[in-house]
Amino acid sequence: MAQHPITPAALAARPLLFASGEQAYVAATILGTSQTPDGADPAWADEVVAGLGPGERALCALSFAAGAPGLAHRVVGAEHALQRPAHDGSVERAYQVTEFPTADEYARMVEAALAKIADGSLHKVVLGRCLDVVSDPPLVPAEIIDRLLTTRPGRYVFAVPLVPGSDDGQAPVDGPILVGASPELLVRREGLEISCTPLAGSVPRSSDPDEDARRAAGLQQSGKDLAEHAFVVEAIVHALKEVCVEIEYPATPELMSTDTVWHLATPIHARLADAADGPSALRLAQLLHPTPAVGGVPTAAANAVIADLEGDLRDWFAGCVGWVDGNGDGEFAITIRAAVMDGPRLRLFAGAGIVAGSDPASEVRETGAKLATMARVTGLP
């Protein structure tokens, strides 16, 4: 049962939280932080869960790539109803914005990926681009969370410092912090029950209701987007078959919307044979991540193309973030609609899935719409 409601203004200066819908788990004390150079290491995940006592959770973040860092804060905290702010408490700021790659450069990246798809070495790849926003005075996490609750680009609101806590059990006073509001559930474990809701295939929304409805209907009938979505669902179902005895999902995807984007979504429900011997939510996140929703098909070929065309843009973006308890239960979201704040700089990332039939100009517009969703939380017009 959630305790008293809490607003972002009442949070610590650098909060540590994970919210699903209106319910937020807010850490009060950091008991320790476990870091690993390889967030895909199953032994590390098992060690994190085994180290949790009664009433404790690990709030975790995993990078996109295998062999890239993972972090888990062991915390005690409480559930709260996370309220939207009653008023806009923002201050006037000056901003410097840098887009990279540029729209033209990104279109050429898409063309290069399409050439790989045409020669048969690749079926799908997700390519991203970034915005760097430098603000004066610097933005603060509570203000970003304020705006995330107002614009709500996704139901999973999070704030996770990417460095260890201080000696007094509080969040670190400086260093990068990952904040966002993801629309995409990677995995949830409640006892034997497993849930996933992958998103793949999307289109920007319109302020005109008739045009908005036309775009939504078109998305449901788009062969390109349905094929992109099918890659993701098939990969998740295949992975779940290794650890689950029952898997159910609809034959066709559903529509899901945020303020700026329509998505194709498929709710997947599965069941573990034994909760005690089954994988924890953190291990399930490692097993499933990265899905083709943020990577591609085949996985190795897609990851190679991403590394070649994007370079080191991703880091913690397109990874996953969430929590796990000592019983192995927990919930992880894909790290999209997210930002990394570090001093006066805030970096945003957005990607689009490239498959046969993708149009470079359309993918530029799609990533632009996704970046616009998060740019609004900085206060940019």
Categorize the per-residue pLDDT at 374 as very low, low, confident or very high, splitting at 50, 70 and 90: confident
Average pLDDT over residues 125-135: 94
CATH class of the domain at 8-84+95-378: alpha beta
63-120 pLDDT, tens digit per residue, is 998 889 999 999 999 998 877 766 665 678 899 999 999 999 999 999 999 999 999 9
Give the total residue count for the chain.
Answer: 381
Count the alpha carbons within 13 Å of 78 in the hemisphere toward its beta carbon. 10
pLDDT at 140: 85
- What the block records as the tokens of 139 is 């933005």
* Mean model confidence pLDDT for the chain: 90
pLDDT at 8: 67
Residue 115 burial (C-beta neighbours within 10 Å; 0-12, 13-18, 19+): exposed
pLDDT at 263: 94
- Residues 34, 41: contact at Cβ < 8 Å? no
- Residues 184, 195: contact at Cβ < 8 Å? no
pLDDT at 1: 45
CA distance 177 to 171: 10
309-319 pLDDT, tens digit per residue, is 999 889 999 99
- What the block records as the tokens of 44 is 């590390």
Torsion on CA atoms 101, 103, 106, 112, rounded to nearest 10: -140
Whose structure tokens read 């050429």?
A: 108
Categorize the per-residue pLDDT at 349 as very low, low, confident or very high, splitting at 50, 70 and 90: very high
- What the block records as the tokens of 84 is 């939207």
The H-assigned helical ranges of 51-193 are 103-118, 141-151
- Residues 185, 333: contact at Cβ < 8 Å? yes
Q: Which of 116, 124, 366, 370 is catalytic?
A: 124
318-333 pLDDT, tens digit per residue, is 999 999 999 999 999 9
Count the alpha carbons within 13 Å of 375 in the hemisphere toward its beta carbon. 19
Percent of the chain whose predicted confidence (pLDDT) is above 90: 68
Write out the H or E segment, with its range, that includes residue 241. none
Coil, strand or helix at 274: coil
Q: Which of 116, 143, 184, 331 is catalytic?
A: 184
Q: Residue 159: beta bridge partners?
A: 17, 179
Average pLDDT over residues 27-32: 92
* Active-site residue, 331 included: no
Whether pLDDT at 230 is above 80: yes
- Residues 204, 260: contact at Cβ < 8 Å? yes
pLDDT at 170: 75
Whether pLDDT at 5 is above 80: no
199-218 pLDDT, tens digit per residue, is 998 898 899 999 999 999 99
pLDDT at 330: 98
258-301 pLDDT, tens digit per residue, is 877 899 999 999 999 887 889 999 999 999 999 999 999 999 99
Whether pLDDT at 2 is above 50: no
144-180 pLDDT, tens digit per residue, is 888 887 777 788 999 999 999 877 777 777 889 999 9
* Active-site residue, 310 included: no
